[in-house]
Structures are given as structure tokens and as C-alpha cells.
Amino acid sequence: MQNKKVRQKPPFFNIIIVTMEVNMKILCIGDVVGKPGRNYLEQNLNRIINEQSIDFIIANGENSAGGVGITKEIYDELISMDIDVITLGNHSWAKKEVFDYINVTDKLIRPANYPENTPGAGYIIVEKKGTKIAVINMCGRVFMECLECPFKTIDYILSDIKDKADITILDFHAEATAEKIAMGWYLDGRISAIFGTHTHVQTSDEIILPNGTGYITDVGMTGPFESVLGMDKNIIIKKFITALPGKFEVAKGNAIFGAIIFDFNTDNNLSAVKRLLYRQS
């Protein structure tokens, strides 16, 4: 009997799973867009936590207030849902009240590569279940406002937190796929995991890189599905057709949930990555 050749998918596109005892499951949620995104979390996050046995949650909240920025009220709302750390991005300062509270919040961070003396912190170390988890926030520079070099900034931070954290995770808020992928290879073996945010479109390239770092280019968004990146689709289509400016508004309707889970074993080494994409019917 002739052996049949089976064509296999490239391993880059497979979920990598190694059977090991899991110590910490970390859920990283993509950009929460406006009220539809917040409502989805309010109605479903507790169920997801229980179904997936989640221990720690990071969520990007830079679009959580009407599509741009975050307010103190919304920060408190998200934290009340058992989210452990909220990251930001290029819209960090869209709501001016953020300057009044960002220095006194204990679970909100902004991109670390803003210039020196910018309010807020660029990273945080949180202890959960006896494990110290460092969460770093960083913005890309390609097709975005020019900030400090994210590669040099991450080098400085990793040197500063050396031996202070058991697990280190980066939210890389960047536009260019190439810049995100370059960061993944640059940090492979030096950091526990990297998840990309900002583009609002989930990629299917989750992987454990050769030296043990978990990676995905973008986890997508948590916001209205019938939209253009969370915004009212008719307004955006009209803008493309006419080339005239228009006021963006968060779309209404059912939501989509984009996230990734990083599973760490009892030695705090990454053992699996699992991408989540849920859509309300």
C-alpha cells in the first residue's frame, strides 16, 4: 500500500501546546472600544474567566471612552471587572482628565517610550498567586507619532527590572506589522510574551518563538463588530468616498472579543498560547 503524503501547515500558524502543569494563565484583551466593548466585558468576562481558568488579566483601554482615551470613571469600571492591569497607547491623553489621576492609579500604565517626565508609568509589577508579573506598555513609531525608540526603551526597562519579576509581558501598541514582528525576534528569550494592539484586527500568527517567548502580532479589538475598526461604518465609508473629514462615532450593535491566553507552567516558562475570537450573535 502506497503511503499517502499529508501536507502540513507551517508551524508558524499552529497553536503551540506543550503538556505541562499550568501555574498561571494570563488573558490579554485587545483594544476595548467604547460602550459596546465595555458592555461585552461586563456581560461575558466573568464567564470567560471561569471557562478558561484565568488568573491574571491585561486589557488595552486606550479606546474605552467613546472610542478615544479613558476616563477615571471607565478606569474604575474596568478594574471592577477583575482586570489587573490596563494599558494605553497613542490615544493616552485624549481625555484631559487623565492628567489628574494617572499618577495616583495603581493599575493603569501608558507607553513607556513617551519622553522623560511624562505623567504616569510605563510599566508595573503586580504580584498574583505568589508570582510577580511585570507588564510593560510601548508604542511603535512607524506610521505613528514619533516617540523614543521602543527597542532602546525596552532594553533599559528589562535592565531595570532584572530579577524583580517572574513573568514579563509587553503590550506593543504599534501600526506596522514589520515593527511588531521585529520586536518579537528582538526580545525572543528575553521576555515571557508579547501581544500587539492598535490595529483592531486579530492576526492568526500566535506562536512560541524558538527561545521561549510567546508572540502574536495583534490580538484584535473588543468592540462593535459591524464597524470599521470600531467606528460607525457609514461615516468611514463616506470619508473614503468623498475624502472629506467627518466626526467619527463608535458603532452600535453586537460586539466582537479579541484576546490571547498565555499559559505558564510551575517554573514560569510559557507552555501554550491560545487565541480567542468571540462574536455576539
Name the amino acid, one letter, at 80. Answer: S
Write down the residue that cell numbers 527561545 correspond to.
Answer: 211
SS (H, E, C) 73-96: HHHHHHHCCCCCEEECCCCCCCCC
Q: How many whole angstroms separate alpha carbon 107 and alpha carbon 84?
A: 6
| C-alpha 180, offset from chain centre | 12
pLDDT of 17: 47
Name the amino acid, one letter, at 134. Answer: A
- Neighbour tally for 124: CB within 10 Å: 20
- The rounded average pLDDT for each run of 10 residues, N- to C-terminus, in the chain (281 residues) is 42 47 90 97 97 98 96 97 97 95 96 95 96 98 93 97 96 98 98 98 98 98 96 94 92 96 95 96 76
Catalogue all structural domains in the chain, each as residue range(s) with its CATH number.
22-226+254-279 (3.60.21.10)
- C-alpha cell, 126: 503586580
Write down the residue that cell numbers 500500500 correspond to.
Answer: 1
114 exposure class (CB count in 10 Å sphere: 0-12, 13-18, 19+): buried
| C-alpha 239, offset from chain centre | 28
Catalytic residues, by residue number, are: 91
Q: How many whole angstroms separate alpha carbon 2 and alpha carbon 147?
A: 60
Name the amino acid, one letter, at 4. Answer: K
* DSSP calls for the chain: -PPPP-PPPPGGGSPPB----EEEEEEEE-EE-HHHHHHHHHHHHHHHHHHHT--EEEEE-TTTTTTS---HHHHHHHHTTT--EEE--TTTTSSTTHHHHTTT-SSB---TTSPTT-SS-SEEEEEETTEEEEEEEEE--TTS---S-HHHHHHHHHHHSTTT-SEEEEEEE-S-HHHHHHHHHHHBTTBSEEEEESS-S--S--EE-TTS-EEES---EEEESSSBTTB-HHHHHHHHHH-------B--S-EEEEEEEEEEETTS-EEEEEEEEEE--
Sign of CA dihedral 44, 205, 63, 223: negative
Q: How many whole angstroms separate alpha carbon 271 and alpha carbon 265?
A: 6
Q: How many whole angstroms separate alpha carbon 242 and alpha carbon 153?
A: 41
